Copies of this chain bind each other. A is one copy, B any other.
Amino acid sequence: MKITGDQALVKKINKSLILHTIRKHAPLSRARVSEITGLNKATVSNLVAELCSEELVNEVGPGESSGGRKPLILHFNDRAGCVIGIELRVRQLTAVLCDLGGHVLKECEVDLENHHLPYVLEQMKRIIAELIGSAPDSHYGIVGIGVGVPGMVDEQGVVLFAPNLGWEMVDLRGLLEQEFSVPVTIDNEANAGAQGELNFGAAQDVRHLLYISAGSGIGSGIIIGGELYKGARGYAGETGHMTIEAEGKPCSCGSRGCWELYASERTYDNPGLNLPARTTPELVRYALDQQEDTLRHFRTIGEYLGIGVTNLINSFNPELIVIGGALSEAEAWLGEPLRRVVAERTLPYHKQQLEITFSKLGSRGTVIGAGFTAVMHFLGRTRVTL
């Protein structure tokens, strides 16, 4: 049964529109909301009253007059509730407590000793419980938990396959919802990162974004029309296994010449390179000391990143590309070769209008994005397409 139109829907659309207008443009008056949205002043007044009584919006007193009656200033009430954002990584678990505005209230980290599901789940539950315990009192309390995991996730929040954890078909959402009785959203780590940059980082208000998470592998978060695109079964964006050398090195995925064999931290293990270290933070320090092998290798990685990025540009024609993940810390050395290769290899029209930047949120992008996914899930959004 499809979605039909009735008055309830109209109200939902307009209320959602007003809520998100206030969230993005606060502080502002009812009159300004009416101007921005095109809704009648009376409609705005009514719906704002409801939003206020739902504690999602606050009236914080009069503002400056612009030649008439003083406006009553509205704010989105960041403190109406809290969410928990979690990033599950290979060696660590990062978790944050955020308010509805995405402000981090508390942060913690645990090292993981192994990847057995019961153990990892135990750690997650412990850290979540701890954060929930330290959450400030609020009208809605904890409204959701968002998790970013290094693997493929379907629409139901089942981790289909996470090679770095050795997980297959883990119903992570079910397990966490059962424990905490709040809505849980599970997302691929790159998708969470994309959400973070889209809402708080380098990609605010971008319609078509490609977020590339380059770390121990490569994954992409694809935002189309302001909306996360997950594909038919939820595992779009597995770009690390894009072939860039038809007869290249064999990959653990069963294919050959995969992009991430040439442009991720997986290259560090290559013995021929003579690298003085095996982790990005260490190599960054060597690069700062002008260590030759490191500089050369970063240049190579940058160039290979450029090849894959070019492929994605040709397919998606995004407005903006954001490079995130552990490798983004090497921006200083990757940026030039990456942009050079993209400029060399893309079609002329792409060059003019495409921007490539590195993550603004750095290593916290994913965990903030995961949390924010839960916020958006709580607030909802109803829109019309013509």
Q: Which residues of A contact B (CB under 8 A)?
A: 1-7, 9-14, 17, 36-39, 152, 160-161, 207-208, 220, 222, 224, 227, 229-239, 241-246, 248, 253-256, 262, 304, 307, 310-312, 314-319, 344-350, 353, 380-386
Contact = CB atoms under 8 A, between A and B. Distances in A.
B244 A2 contact: no
Given A3-B384, A5-B10, A243-B310, 5 more contacts: A4-B17, A7-B10, A241-B314, A242-B314, A311-B311
B386 A385 contact: no
Contact of A234 (B6, B234, B317): B317
B6 A10 contact: yes
Given A345-B255, A349-B161, A244 B243 contact: yes
Nearest to A385: B383
Contacts of A347: 152, 161, 235, 238, 241, 253-254
Nearest to A314: B238
5 contacts: A233-B317, A234-B317, A235-B350, A236-B315, A254-B344
A235 B349 contact: yes
Contacts of A160: 349
Smallest CB-CB A-B distances: 4 pairs: A231-B317, A5-B10, A5-B13, A255-B345
A178 to B, nearest CB: 25
A7 B2 CA distance: 19
A155 to B, nearest CB: 11
Contacts of A238: 314-315, 317, 347
A37 B242 contact: no
A353 to B, nearest CB: 6
A236 B382 CA distance: 27
A13 B4 contact: yes
Contact of A353 (B232, B241, B345): B232
Nearest to A235: B317
Contact of A255 (B2, B227, B344): B344
A384 B13 contact: yes
Contacts of A380: 386
A229 B224 contact: yes
Q: Which of A7, A232, A310 has the most CB of B within 10 A?
A: A232
A211 B243 CA distance: 19
A179 to B, nearest CB: 27
A262 B242 contact: no
Contact of A383 (B3, B242, B304, B349): B3
Nearest to A232: B319
Contact of A316 (B10, B36, B152, B236): B236
A350 B314 CA distance: 22
Nearest to A320: B232
A78 to B, nearest CB: 23
Contacts of A245: 244-246
A356 to B, nearest CB: 13
A266 B238 CA distance: 29
Q: Which of A160, A222, A314 has the most CB of B within 10 A?
A: A314
